[in-house]
Amino acid sequence: MIFDIILIACIVAAACSMPGVFLVLRRLSLQSDAISHSVLFGIVISFFLVKNFHSPLLMIGAAATGVLTVMLSELLLKTKLVKEDASIGLVFPALFSIGVILISKYAGDIHLDVDAVLTGEIALAPFDRFVVGGVDLGPRSAWSMGLIALINLLLLLGFFKELKLSTFDAGLAASLGFRPHLLHYGLMIMVSITAVGAFDSVGSILVVALMIAPAATAYLLTDSLALMILLSMGIGITSAAVGVLLAFSLDTSISGTMAVVCGMFFAIALFFSPRYGMISKWLIARDRKWIFACYTLCVHLLHHEGTPEEEEESHVRHLQDDLKWEPKYAQKVVASGIRNGLLLKTGNHLHLTPLGKETVRSLMNRG
Amino acid sequence: MIDFDYTLTTVVLGGALVGLLSGVFGVYALLRKQSLLGDTISHAALPGIALVFLLLRVKHPLALTLGAMAAGWLGTMIMPAVVNRSRIKLDTIIAVVLAVFFGFGLALLSVIQKLPTANQAGLTKFLYGNASTMLRQDVHVMAAFTLISVCAVLLFWKEFKIATFDADYARSLGLPVRWLDMLLFSLIVVAITVGLQTVGVVLMSAMLVAPAAAARQWTNRMEIMALLSALFGMGASISGALLSSSITHLPTGPATVCIITLFFLISILFAPNRGLLWRWIRRRSHHGEITQARLLEELYWLEQNHEPGSHYHEIRSLQAVNRERIDRYLDTLTQQGWTERSGAGGIRLTSAGLKQVKTAHAEMEGKERL
């Protein structure tokens, strides 16, 4: 039972992470929020038409609503009466509201209650089995979500080059004859289908967490698109598995806990990422100050080397007068220069090492 | 009967306060292009509410509102801090904060629901809002926050306005823009948390965007916009609250959002000057004027390039308008006395028409010289 839930959660996370990467890179993260809300409208309306929660038509109808949301937002934007932020913020609450009202009015007809819209019912998902010819093949949602994940993967592999180019240089993509607008809609369809599939198990808002947070975490760790996709998939799957286990041991809402774990991974990367983390950024900025001071000192020494004033200029005390450095600061700079092998100190005089001279020359030549 | 009156007045009062606050502060969010901020703040507020209840086991609206405010404020402050100090973009961090805070809130709510002693029934109303469970006590807290916020806005009206429209100018005047922004955002957080009870966490953002976006279409003056926005907000949230407390199984938040979206649609369609209908009418009339001018111009050109005098030009040879619609335009021109038609499909400029073309030319030259 718990194994089934973990399996479903991991598949959902893997499926979500693929479109998520492109949403983050294209600065469209909030479209996932909009789409995941408005597909509810599509799910309810299509349900009234087909009366079956497992019909592929439901999926198509709901995905169409996702695209409708994007189109309506663009239509509003095109009137130039509202700005982009408002055009998104006006469409999806309206569609979502209609969806919620329909569910609460016809609760008897629809097997969906208002609370489940937000949290999903992943705990119940394992009870709905996929049985073919009397053989139990596992939970149905694992299969349906697996199919969506597979579709996402195939689309990703098939259009990797196109997606990559149009994401990083839309202008070039257009000039080479690709159709960025078409790709944009393709991506939005991918987001919609994934959101519909994940809706059942994790609910409307946590789809956002699973799409955006792992991708954002991966974005903090790498510059390579392929690696970012793999990482975000891995992080998503790990968050899902850890989330489910944690939820069981703490007896909390599964989807809520998964979102919190996603957030925790994001926070860890935000602080500790080797290259883009806040701490390493802070360290680099701090070191840069000392490195710059060191270079200044080296340039100063080389400038006066072999001149009559060398005796006076290379004196440690002179740094206070000439470079206007506080004694303590000067001391630290000298120490860091010696530590890095740029300087030598004999008595109270400073000399450049060969490495120091080399460094200064390459610095001067760079300009 | 008394009970009904009590509920009714509570609902109407509460709705009015929520609409007033979200209407006024939505104007700032809209004008600063930060409409989606409301979405984050309201979602981020949920763990605050749950945590206060979990730790203090109180359901007093003041405590819950303060908890919501603290969490919402924390969420708001995280965003610029992350954007300024890392490669993460604003849209990404908005989505992450929104989803993770909300997930945390749901996890806490699930813990609360399993408490043996808890009278937790009131907490889920924060998801979609429930006006009919509102008490006088809630209204009192809402009124207090509304009073404070409205006073602050009136007091700093000019400053907020300058900081919103032209922050650089405000700085050059020596205004503490950073503090003003901070105060304004805190007030937006207050407006959102006050609205959570009736509209709910999930849909509160619409209450911030829609009234302001609707009001924007009717006026270019910020004073009038704020007033209209407050009116729209109040109208929608009172009627939403009334509807949901009289119809069973109708959550207040979604009802209110549907009504306010309707207000918005009416506004973008029918508002004078900016509205789509007006724009369409104006475009049509411009189109007519331009076509008339082009026809006159073409006739003038024909006049210049053929022998002058009483020569009629063939209507069939005119190219400024396609053939199906040409009669309508020529009729108008003839009615105005600028052209005259011969019986056999011919047309020429009258002296009045000639004068009209020359005036137009003189005007163009004047403009070019400028």
pLDDT of residue B118: 57
Q: Of the candidates B274, B309, B340, which is a domain's last residue?
A: B274
Question: What domain range is B54 assigned to?
Answer: 2-274
Of B274, B289, B318, which marks where a domain is finished? B274
Q: Is B130 helix (H, G, I), strand (E, B) or coil?
A: coil
B313-314 vs A129-132, strand pairing mode: unpaired
**Assigned token pair, A52:** 């079956």
Cβ–Cβ gap B103/A259 under 8 Å: yes
Question: Among all residues of chain B, which has the CA nearest to that of A204?
Answer: B99
Burial class (CB in 10 A: 0-12, 13-18, 19+), B120: middle
Question: What pLDDT digit, counting tens, does each position of B189-230 carry?
Answer: 999 988 888 888 888 889 999 999 999 999 999 999 999 999
Kindly report the length of chain B.
Answer: 370
Mean pLDDT (whole number) for B125-152: 88
Kindly tell me if the per-residue pLDDT of B76 is higher than 50: yes
Same-domain pairing of B123 and B256: yes
Summarize pLDDT for B4-32 with one digit per residue, the tens: 577 788 888 988 999 999 999 999 999 99
Give residue-wise pLDDT tens across range A69-93.
Answer: 999 999 999 988 888 888 988 999 9
Q: Report, as ranges of residue numbers, the positions in chain A whose pLDDT lies below 70.
A: 53, 107-111, 366-367
Query: β-pairing, B346-349 with B313-314?
Result: antiparallel
**CA nearest to A270, candidates A256, A257, A281:** A281
The residue written with tokens 């808002």 in the block is A205
B282 token code pair: 């104006």
pLDDT greater than 90 at residue B103: yes
Distance CA B271, CA B350 (A): 41
Q: Is the ipTM of this complex over 0.90?
A: no
Tell me which residues of chain B, numbers 22 to 41, contact chain A at a CB-CB cutoff of 8 Å. Answer: 30, 33-36, 38-39
End-to-end CA distance of chain B: 74
Comparing alpha-carbon positions, the chain B residue that sits nearest to A24 is B92
Size of interface A-B (CB pairs under 8 A): 208
Considering the domain architecture, whether residues B335 and B290 belong to the same structural domain is answered as yes
The verdict on B78 and B186 lying in the same domain is yes
CA distance B6 to chain A (A): 26
Residue recorded with tokens 């919103």: B164
The total number of structural domains in chain B stands at 2
Which residues of chain B does A213 touch, with a Cβ-Cβ cutoff of 8 Å?
A: 96, 99-100
Q: Which chain B residue's Cα is nearest to A104? A: B249
Given CB atoms, is B248 within the 8 Å cutoff of chain A?
A: no
Take residue B267 and report the two structure tokens written for it.
């506004």
Rounded Cα distance between A68 and A65, Å, is 5
Nearest by CB: A258 against B87, B103, B108 = B103
The domain boundary residue, chosen from B251, B274, B297: B274
B260 with B300, same domain: the answer is no
Select from B28, B90, B106, B262 the residue whose CB has the most chain A CBs within 10 Å, as the one to mutate to test that interface.
Answer: B106
Of the pLDDT bands very low, low, confident and very high (cuts 50, 70, 90), residue B165 is: very high
Residues B230, B315 within the same domain: no
CA angle B145, B129, B140 (to 5 degrees): 30
Location of structure tokens 């369609």: B269
Class of domain A279-366: mainly alpha
| Among candidate residues A119, A210, A275, A306, the one with its CA nearest the CA of residue B87 | A275
Give the pLDDT of residue B370: 64
CA geometry: angle B74, B77, B83, nearest 5 deg: 135
pLDDT at position B121 is 61
- pLDDT-based confidence at residue B317 (cuts at 50, 70, 90): confident
CB environment A298-327: b (16+ within 10 A), e (fewer): bebbbebeeeeeeeebbbeebbeeeeebee
Report the top-level CATH class of A2-273: mainly alpha
| Residue B235: pLDDT band with limits 50, 70, 90 | very high
pLDDT score recorded for residue A15 = 94
Q: Which of A132-141, B86-95, B126-135, B303-312 has the lowest mean pLDDT?
A: B303-312
Q: What is the CATH number of the domain that holds B329?
A: 1.10.10
CA gap B352, A365 in Å, rounded:
77
| CATH code of the domain containing B242 | 1.10.3470.10
A249-273, pLDDT tens digit by residue? 999 989 999 999 999 999 999 999 9
Please identify among residues 123-142 of chain B the ones whose CB lies closer than 8 Å to any CB of chain A.
Answer: 124, 127-128
pLDDT for position B2 = 43
* Cα A196 to Cα A204: distance, rounded to the nearest angstrom: 9
Same domain, B333 and B253: no
Same-domain pairing of B340 and B305: yes
Percentage of residues in chain A with pLDDT exceeding 90? 35
Closest CA to B15 of B123, B138, B112: B138
Mind telling me how many Å the CA of A45 is from chain B's nearest CA? Answer: 16
Question: Which string of b and e fits B253-292 if b means at least 16 CB within 10 Å?
Answer: bbbbbbbbbebbeebbeebeebbeeeeeeeeeeeeeeebb
CB contact set of B22 (below 8 Å; sequence gap of 6+): B191, B192, B195, B199, B204, B207, B208, B211, B233, B237
pLDDT, residue B1, reads 39
* Residues in Cβ contact with B38 at an 8 Å cutoff, skipping those fewer than 6 apart: A89, B26, B29, B188, B192, B204, B205, B207, B208, B209
Q: Are residues B133 and B168 in the same domain?
A: yes
Q: What percent of chain A has pLDDT over 70?
A: 98
Instruction: Sort out which chain A residues have CB atoms less than 8 A from B39's CB and list them.
Output: 33, 89
| Interface probe, candidates B22, B85, B88, B250, chain A, greatest A C-beta count within 10 A | B88
Residues B194, B306 share a domain: no
Give the domain ranges of chain A.
2-273, 279-366
pLDDT at B309: 58
